Structures are given as structure tokens and as C-alpha cells.
Amino acid sequence: MRSLTRPDPTLTLEPRRRADGSLPSWSRKRKSIEKFVAWALANQSDQCAICGYFVGDVADRRAWSIDHFAPKGDTLYPQWTFEPLNLIVTCHSCNSIFKQDFDSVTLVGRDYADSSFLLVHPYLDSIERHIEGTYAGRSRRVGAPRPQSPKGRTTIELFRLDDVNYLSGINRQALRISLDEWKAHLPGATLLLFKNAMAELTGRHQ
């Protein structure tokens, strides 16, 4: 988990209200939402905002999902359904299996950014103040994260960021990133030798 750049404050996702003043239902197929998702994926380096897995990788935590950090249900926080600060792109597991409709809000402020949350917020919090040693989306491998605050502990427990299977998988991803970075800096001839050597080891040499 890492701190994310906040959406541009001029970004507006809220659609035109109905005649009775109510908002239309949520749909990620709206052009404004699709545009936001494209921005968010670039902002997050195509990785889940919570666990760091590349989203859409079916071998890991599966398809991407739009998470309403504060649930959008009619009885919860419908006023934040289209609030950009309330939207992050996550993997299917973090959103639909672990978090589900977890009420993350402890205090509703005058504005969204003035509110308080039970979970570490990727836009509003400094991750390092709440969780030490969490995967930050790069090639550095990690051990079990250590909570530095109550909300850090709740975040680790809810999303199972200390699960041994998750740590094994995310460290494999970090290793792949590290290998890709290393190969990117190899001269062409050396890279070809490396690929041929790997092909021989795996029995696929032509």
C-alpha cells in the first residue's frame, strides 16, 4: 500500500441530477467514470491501491474494481457516490471479498477530506505513519507489515496484508519487476544471450 496523488480538485464526476433532485444510479460505464478509471490506473501504475497486485492479472487477485472507500449505499454515504476522493481502483479480492460493505467512516466532516476513517486512506493519509513495511508497488520485496496505529492494524487485518500466501505472491511480483528493470538496462546482445540461456534451461531453445 502506498500514498497516492489526489485527483485534480476541478475533476467533476457527478452527473446531472434528476428533476426531483436525486442523483442517477452509479454506473462505471459513464464516460466521466471511464475517464477517471484511466487516470486512476495511471496514477496507481496499474496496481491495486490496497494490496499492490497488478489489476487484471487473473493469476493473482483477478479483475480490477472501483472501490467506494466510504460505501455508497442509500443508507450509508450516497452523497459521496461520485466524489473522486472516495474512489480508488482495487483488485476484485480487496473490494468484493475482503472489504465488501465495511463502514470505514468514523466521523462525517463538513467536506470529504475533513472526515475521519477507520482504514488508512490512500489519498488522505501518509501510509508510513500507519503501516511500516507494506508493499509500495515497486521491485522491493517485503516481509509482514507492522501496524503503527489502530487504523493501520485494522487495514492490515481487513485486507489480510500479513497473509503468508499474499506475501509470497507479492514478492514474486516484486521479483518480476526487478528482473524486468534489470533486463531493460542490458545491451541488446547481452539480452539475447540471457534469453537464449533461459530458453536452454527451460528446454525451449530453438
Which residues share a beta bridge with 57? 62
Which residues share a beta bridge with 110? none
Mean pLDDT of 147-164: 96
Residue pair 1/120 in contact by the 8 Å Cβ criterion:
yes
Mean pLDDT of 143-149: 93
**Range in 19-28, 63-72, 124-133 with the lowest mean pLDDT:** 19-28
DSSP 56: T
Q: Band the pLDDT of 41: cuts 50, 70, 90.
A: very high
Residue 59: pLDDT above 60?
A: no
H/E stretch holding 117? strand 116-117
**Range in 31-40, 47-56, 149-158, 196-205 with the lowest mean pLDDT:** 196-205
- How many residues appear in the chain? 206
Which residues does 80 contact at the CB level (< 8 Å), separation at least 6? 68, 70, 72, 86, 112
Interatomic CA distance for residues 202 and 21, integer angstroms: 63
In the chain, where the domains are located: 31-172
| pTM of the shown model | 0.81
pLDDT above 90 as % of the chain = 48
Which residues does 205 contact at the CB level (< 8 Å), separation at least 6? 196, 199
